[in-house]
Amino acid sequence: MCKNGISKATLSRIPSYLELLRSLPEERYEHISATAIARKLSLGEVQVRKDLASISGAGKPKLGYVTTELIKNLENFLGGNNLAPAVLVGAGKLGKTLLDYDEFEKFGIRIAAAFDSNDKVISLNGKIEVRPISEFEEFCKSNGIQLGIITVGAGSAQTVCDKMVECGILGILNFAPCNLHVPDGVVIKNENLALSLAHLKNQINK
């Protein structure tokens, strides 16, 4: 099961498959079919079948999947019990919103620390600490951080990006409205919160 071959759309549905499967009474659902899952989640049957096949192979004819096995495979796909630690730089309004966002864990990720040019350590929600950027390098290296989120302004985004690369980060999600340059071997993805709405606007104005 090649992780890399999984589309973003398939990935987006995994947390809801897991939530459903974990909620089913074990005695009545030793097995479950893609059809039953599709019905319960109001999703297309073909889509569910493809999603599950790409992560857990094909179910048994007539029986479907062994529920506990399917749960395990989906959990393993998301990284099992080990949440991948990520760091965030830029604790402004957007940064704080992300720190408060509880969807990361559903995808096997936790924001381990946030950094800001502000020099004080601030505790947010009693969970994540916003630390001064001077502690960034040591934190990343001693925690083996591979994922970084940039929520600073466009003016300092490339500097932050370079620092992340230096510290061994391999995947960067950039919310700053600018293109950033990374060396080969590092994956960068620009995220623009306005883009999906702009795309929707085009779809309704055919």
Q: Which is nearer to its own copies, 62 or 199 (CB)?
A: 199
Question: Hey, which residues between 40 and 69 contact its own copies (CB under 8 A)?
Answer: 41-43
Q: Which is nearer to its own copies, 66 or 186 (CB)?
A: 186
Note whether 170 binds its own copies by CB under 8 A.
yes
Q: How crowded is residue 90: how many other Cβ atoms within 10 Å of its Cβ?
A: 25
Note whether 202 binds its own copies by CB under 8 A.
yes
Q: How crowded is residue 163: how many other Cβ atoms within 10 Å of its Cβ?
A: 18
Name the segment binding its own copies (CB under 8 A); options: 47-55, 58-66, 76-84, 113-121: 76-84
Note whether 1 binds its own copies by CB under 8 A.
no
| Dist CA 152 CA 145 (whole Å) | 19
One residue of 67, 73, 76, 190 binding its own copies per CB under 8 A:
190
Name the segment binding its own copies (CB under 8 A); options: 22-30, 57-65, 103-111, 132-140: 103-111
Q: Strands (DSSP E) along 17-146, which ranges?
A: 31-32, 65-66, 84-89, 109-116, 122-124, 128-132
Residues 49, 50, 51, CA angle at the centre, nearest 5°?
95
Question: Hey, which residues between 104 and 133 contact its own copies (CB under 8 A)?
Answer: 104, 106-109
Instruction: Tell me how long the chain is.
Output: 206
Note whether 80 binds its own copies by CB under 8 A.
no
**What residues contact 192, with CB distance under 8 A and at least 6 apart?**
175, 177
Q: Which is nearer to its own copies, 35 or 192 (CB)?
A: 192
C-beta separation of 145 from 96 below 8 A: no
Closest distance between its own copies and the C-beta of residue 2, in Å? 8
Fill in the DSSP letter of residue 58: P
Question: What are the backbone angles phi and psi of residue 61, rounded to the nearest 5°?
Answer: -55, 140
Residues that bind its own copies (CB under 8 A): 2-4, 6, 8, 11-12, 15-16, 41-43, 78-79, 84, 86, 93-94, 96-98, 100-101, 103-104, 106-109, 146-147, 149, 170-173, 177, 179, 181, 187, 189-206
